[in-house]
Chains A and B, each alone.
Chain A
Amino acid sequence: MTEAEIRDFLANAIKENSVMLFMKGTPHQPACGFSARTSACLNALGVKYAALDILPDPRIREELSQLSGWPTVPQLFVDGELVGGCDIVTEMYETGELAQKLGVEQPEEDPEPEAPQPQRAPLGLENRLD
């Protein structure tokens, strides 16, 4: 792949995915703490997003920075526009701006698991003694 092809590929990825994250590693196996934190913000909001690992070829990172004017990775794009790297995304997540930008609900402050509390006690010792 030539530099120009990489650049076209990146530009296309940004255009075609309304939420596009460039990172080191993958959301399941981030290869850098900053990338991990950024994808964790998106995961916490439950949004669908595309992610591209920039590590396989150093030219990906070079072309990406040329394209965006942003020197570091991760980089999050929403609707074709650079939103920021780890610091900005984390800050926007904390203030609720990221949820607003992505059109989703901000999760509750306390990291309560999704599952609602059961109305009745689950099968337990007492039930069995009946």
Chain B
Amino acid sequence: MPSAEELKERIESALPGAAVAVEDLTGGGDHFRAEVVSARFAGLSRIEQHKLVYNVFGDEVGGPIHALSIKTSTPTGDRGSGHSAGTPSS
């Protein structure tokens, strides 16, 4: 059963320099929430940012890791844009 600490370490080694916080939401070792701040996310859409984190765990997400909720951002606070840079809503 994975622990929050293990998930944190694995994300950190996959994304060097990233600031990572992982929380075990239920205490049961299968529902996690990860907050990841990494310069690697710059210029990527949210989908791409989240995929970088999911990819650390491959098939384990949806398996032993039943749910991994992700929040990503860059050190400059860029939360990732959508696919197209549309005009911001007024």
Contact = CB atoms under 8 A, between A and B. Distances in A.
Contacts of A88: 46-47, 50
Contacts, number: 48
A84 interface: yes
A87 B50 contact: yes
B61 interface: yes
Contacts of B62: 61, 65, 71-73
Interface of A: 34, 61, 65, 69-73, 81-88, 91-92, 96-97, 99-101, 106
17 contacts: A34-B67, A69-B51, A70-B47, A72-B54, A72-B61, A73-B62, A83-B47, A84-B46, A84-B50, A87-B50, A87-B70, A88-B50, A91-B46, A91-B79, A96-B89, A100-B89, A106-B89
Interface of B: 46-47, 50-51, 54, 57, 59, 61-62, 67-71, 79, 82-83, 86, 89
